[in-house]
């Protein structure tokens, strides 16, 4: 068999905490796009979110590690946590390209909700030249009828984004919902892997936060 370039998916997120929505999507795109591995990259400080109820980076990373350890195609990366500060994806991809450096192909995985705020990302033109996009479906964020104008991006970036849309299961779960449920003393079984639920409970994460709306 001819040797082909390794295909690596980069799945960045707050992972506060990681949940089955993340895992099901990563599984679907690994299969659909024939990726060799998916790197889960918890951010240090998310560029587009407040950090009010952000669990410590070490805890978020540990939960990702617990969630992915049984899957040989999944790996947790501390690249953004080590770098610290606001986590810009373009920097992460550049750093990963330098580290791997064997002609790998990189795919940047995002949910449809992130797509809607893409015009606010740092250096999106440059990012789109560094890797291909993989866009996963997300409840409440339709992927039909989008245009360069509606996303406020250039035509070429839009073409590259549209080419990355992948049919994935729609899993209506968010980290916000998990945090709210923990804060209310409700059960999160099956919404996160068992080891993650145990970790949250053992460390007392998300228990002291006030209920937040899941709207945004």
Closest distance of CB 149 from ligand ATP, Å: 22
What minimum distance in Å lies between the beta carbon of 100 and ligand ATP?
22
Reference 15, options 169, 161, 206; nearest CA is 206
What residues make contact with ligand ATP under the rule CB under 6 A? 13-16, 21-22, 25, 110-111, 113-114, 136, 138, 171, 173-176
Could you tell me the smallest distance in angstroms from the CB atom of residue 136 to ligand ATP?
A: 5
Nearer to ligand ATP, 165 or 173 (CB): 173
Q: Which runs of consecutive H residues, i.e. helices, occur in the chain?
A: 20-32, 57-68, 79-83, 89-100, 112-115, 124-130, 148-151, 155-163, 175-183, 194-203
Least distance (Å) from ligand ATP to the CB of residue 57? 13
Token pair, residue 131, equals 């890797």
Spatial separation of the C-alpha atoms in residues 179 and 63, rounded to whole Å: 14
Cα 141 to the center of its chain, rounded Å: 16
Q: How far is the CB of 204 from ligand ATP (least distance, A)?
A: 18
Distance CA 162, CA 143 (A): 9
Tell me how far apart the terminal alpha carbons of the chain are, to the nearest angstrom. Answer: 47
3-state secondary structure of 68: helix
Whose Cβ is closer to ligand ATP: residue 3's or residue 131's? Answer: 131
Q: Taking Cα atoms as reference points, which of 44, 8, 14 lies closest to residue 26? A: 8
Q: Which residue is nearest to ligand ATP (CB)?
A: 111
- Decide whether 16 or 158 has the Cβ nearer to ligand ATP: 16
């Amino acid at each position: 068999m001819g040797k082909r370039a390794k295909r690596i998916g980069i799945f960045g997120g707050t992972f506060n905490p990681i949940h089955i929505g993340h895992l099901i999507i990563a599984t679907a795109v690994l299969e659909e796009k024939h990726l060799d591995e998916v790197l889960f990259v918890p951010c240090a400080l998310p560029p587009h979110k407040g950090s009010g109820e952000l669990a410590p980076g070490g805890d978020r990373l540990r939960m990702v590690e617990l969630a992915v350890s049984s899957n040989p195609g999944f790996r947790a990366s501390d690249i953004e946590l080590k770098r610290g500060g606001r986590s810009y994806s373009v920097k992460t991809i550049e750093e990963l390209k330098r580290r791997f450096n064997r002609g790998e192909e990189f795919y940047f995985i995002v949910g449809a909700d992130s797509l809607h705020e893409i015009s606010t990302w740092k250096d999106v033109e440059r990012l789109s030249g560094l890797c291909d996009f993989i866009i996963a479906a997300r409840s409440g964020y339709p992927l039909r009828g989008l245009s360069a104008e509606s996303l406020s991006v250039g035509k070429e970036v839009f073409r590259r984004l549209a080419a990355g849309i992948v049919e994935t299961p729609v899993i209506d779960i968010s980290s916000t919902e998990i945090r709210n449920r923990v804060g209310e003393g409700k059960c999160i079984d099956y919404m996160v892997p068992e080891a993650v639920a145990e970790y949250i409970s053992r460390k007392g994460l998300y228990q002291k936060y006030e209920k937040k709306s899941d709207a945004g």
